[in-house]
């Protein structure tokens, strides 16, 4: 092939590539692509830079409206492909987000595009379990979540919490950083709740972390013991017994000891979210909250919010979502300032016991890792989004929890 032919072929390829950058074909959900003429993720609607076929190809009325911003996930949990060699196996990668740097893929679309890894079928076709009977169906998730909901006898009663939610705003106003609520969110909380064993064990964990990412976590023997105490206390509850029995029946765990050990790893295992320091964990992010790049990350727990608000460290700004429940647990999507750092949307269960939140997030992470998980609570639909931490694994290729939070659902 001559030089002119090579130049001509290169020009044709570039024009073809440019054409793909003007369409959402095979691009739905991709991260911000600065080289593209238009974008194909949820944020493009806000920034007015969607491709013309975005709505046709990428949106669905059945998808839940996320109350958490995608930006948070992209900044905190997206793997940096330069940090490790591109894998050629689906081991520990089932349902992960598409990464163009990988030679083969392990998500539900790889079969359509013919780029699955060789072991995709055996490892991922049924949520990583070889027998279809082991796969957890949507109907089973609805059933077990209702059982967990009914088993939460430690939840707050209606008279235990008085909320003062004040101004509700539209989703388009969540990034305004305007305090529209002069009064605190909590007018009253019956703190006798906090003397219950699971509450007390949970609260003991909240101050064991440096909230700014980049500062390594170093637990004392006492703090490590507090993690074990929390797991021991919640495993005594009907909520966690329901969850374990369900997962045991689905062949996910052969014993309660194995289940507890895995919970400790996935929730409390440390990884690096900011630098080379082991500075974060699923528990710290979701329940205690973190600060990264000047913004609040995670912080999805009502008890933590109340205790910080009581100390004058949280300033409640507004809410943009209120769940349909007329008793506890409820769901609220909030905007707030945490000691100088803003949270655009902090979704949280309100009035639930620690074991209830821990159980639902664990259920969704185990059954639908990195995806939206549809549940039912008291007859109302709710959805939980989880994400896996993809940079490192534990055990036999298992992944840590990067984040988990409630999203509104209409299905």
Task: Please enumerate in sequence order all residues whose Cβ is within 8 A of that of 239, keeping only pairs 6 or more positions apart, or say none.
Answer: 148, 151, 152, 154, 353, 355, 356, 359
Average pLDDT over residues 358-369: 97
What's the pLDDT at 84? 41
Lowest mean pLDDT among 83-92, 137-146, 304-313, 370-379: 83-92
Tell me the torsion sign for CA atoms 136, 364, 371, 270: negative
67 close to 343: Cβ distance less than 8 angstroms: no
Task: Please enumerate in sequence order all residues whose Cβ is within 8 A of that of 211, keeping only pairs 6 or more positions apart, or say none.
Answer: 288, 289, 290, 291
Whether the per-residue pLDDT at 12 is higher than 70: the answer is: no
What's the pLDDT at 204? 98
User: In 256-282, which positions are buried (b, 16+ CB within 10 angstroms) versus exposed (e)?
Assistant: eeebbebbbbbbbbbbbbbeebebbbb
Please confirm, yes or no, whether 300 is among the known catalytic residues.
yes
What's the pLDDT at 397? 87
pLDDT per position as a tens digit, 25-76 = 767 777 677 667 788 776 776 666 788 777 766 764 334 444 444 334 434 4
Assign residue 45 a region: left if phi > 0, alpha if psi is -120 to 50, beta otherwise? alpha
Task: Please enumerate in sequence order all residues whose Cβ is within 8 A of that of 114, keeping only pairs 6 or more positions apart, or say none.
Answer: none
Q: Which of 105, 155, 250, 343 is catalytic?
A: 343
CATH topology of domain 1-59: Factor Xa Inhibitor (4.10.410)
pLDDT per position as a tens digit, 365-409 = 999 999 999 999 999 999 999 999 988 899 888 999 999 999 865
- 147 burial level (CB within 10 Å; 0-12, 13-18, 19+): middle
320 close to 270: Cβ distance less than 8 angstroms: no
Whether the per-residue pLDDT at 283 is higher than 90: the answer is: yes
Task: Please enumerate in sequence order all residues whose Cβ is within 8 A of that of 176, keeping only pairs 6 or more positions apart, or say none.
Answer: 169
pTM of the complete model: 0.74
pLDDT per position as a tens digit, 130-139 = 445 578 999 9
Whether the per-residue pLDDT at 120 is higher than 80: the answer is: no
Alpha helices in 291-373 (DSSP H): 302-310, 354-367
Phi, psi torsion values for 334, nearest 5 degrees: -120, 155
What's the pLDDT at 231? 98
What's the pLDDT at 61? 36
Please confirm, yes or no, whether 236 is among the known catalytic residues.
no
Task: Please enumerate in sequence order all residues whose Cβ is within 8 A of that of 265, keeping only pairs 6 or more positions apart, or say none.
Answer: 394, 395, 398, 400
Hey, where are the domains in the chain? Answer: 1-59, 136-407
Please confirm, yes or no, whether 343 is among the known catalytic residues.
yes
Q: Parallel, antiparallel, or unpaired for β 372-377 and 341-350?
A: unpaired
> Which comes out higher in pLDDT, residue 90 or 150?
150
pLDDT per position as a tens digit, 239-264 = 999 999 999 999 999 999 999 999 99
Question: Which two three-digit tokens encode residue 75?
Answer: 């900044």
Question: Which two three-digit tokens encode residue 73?
Answer: 């996930």
Q: Which of 42, 250, 292, 300 is catalytic?
A: 300
């Amino acid at each position: 092939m001559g030089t002119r032919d090579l130049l001509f072929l290169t020009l044709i390829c570039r024009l073809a590539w440019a054409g793909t950058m003007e369409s959402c074909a095979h691009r739905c959900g991709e991260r911000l692509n600065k080289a593209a003429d238009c974008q194909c993720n949820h944020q493009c609607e806000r920034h007015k830079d969607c491709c013309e076929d975005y709505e046709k190809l990428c949106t669905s009325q059945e998808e839940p409206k996320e109350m958490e911003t995608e930006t948070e996930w992209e900044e905190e949990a997206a793997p940096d492909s330069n940090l490790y060699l591109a894998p050629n196996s689906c081991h520990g990668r089932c349902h992960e987000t598409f990464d163009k740097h990988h030679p083969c893929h392990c998500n539900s679309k790889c079969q359509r595009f013919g780029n699955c890894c060789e072991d995709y079928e055996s490892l991922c076709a049924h949520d990583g379990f070889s027998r279809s009977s082991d796969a957890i169906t949507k109907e089973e998730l609805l059933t077990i979540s209702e059982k967990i909901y009914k088993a939460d006898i430690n939840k707050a009663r209606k008279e235990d919490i008085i909320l003062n939610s004040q101004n509700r705003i539209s989703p388009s106003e969540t990034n305004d950083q305007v305090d529209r609520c002069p009064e605190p969110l909590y007018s009253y909380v019956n703190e006798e709740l906090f003397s219950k064993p699971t509450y007390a064990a949970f609260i003991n964990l909240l101050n064991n972390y440096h909230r700014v990412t980049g500062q390594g976590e170093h637990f004392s023997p006492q703090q490590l013991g507090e993690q074990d105490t929390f797991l021991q206390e919640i495993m005594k509850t009907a909520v966690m017994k329901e969850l374990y029995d369900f997962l045991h029946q689905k062949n996910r765990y052969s014993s309660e000891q194995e289940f507890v050990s895995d919970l400790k790893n996935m929730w409390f295992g440390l990884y690096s979210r900011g630098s080379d320091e082991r500075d974060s964990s699923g528990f710290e992010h979701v329940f205690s909250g973190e600060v990264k790049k000047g913004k609040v990350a995670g912080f999805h727990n009502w008890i933590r919010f109340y205790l910080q608000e009581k100390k004058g460290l949280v300033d409640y700004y507004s809410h943009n979502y209120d769940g349909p429940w007329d008793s506890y647990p409820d769901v609220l999507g909030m905007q707030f300032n945490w000691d100088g750092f803003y949270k655009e949307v902090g979704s949280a269960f309100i009035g639930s016991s620690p074991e209830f939140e821990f159980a639902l997030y664990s259920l969704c992470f185990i059954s639908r890792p990195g995806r939206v998980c549809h549940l039912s609570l008291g007859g109302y639909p709710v959805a939980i989004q989880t994400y896996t931490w993809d940079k490192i694994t534990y055990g036999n290729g298992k992944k840590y929890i990067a984040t988990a939070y409630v999203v509104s659902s209409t299905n």
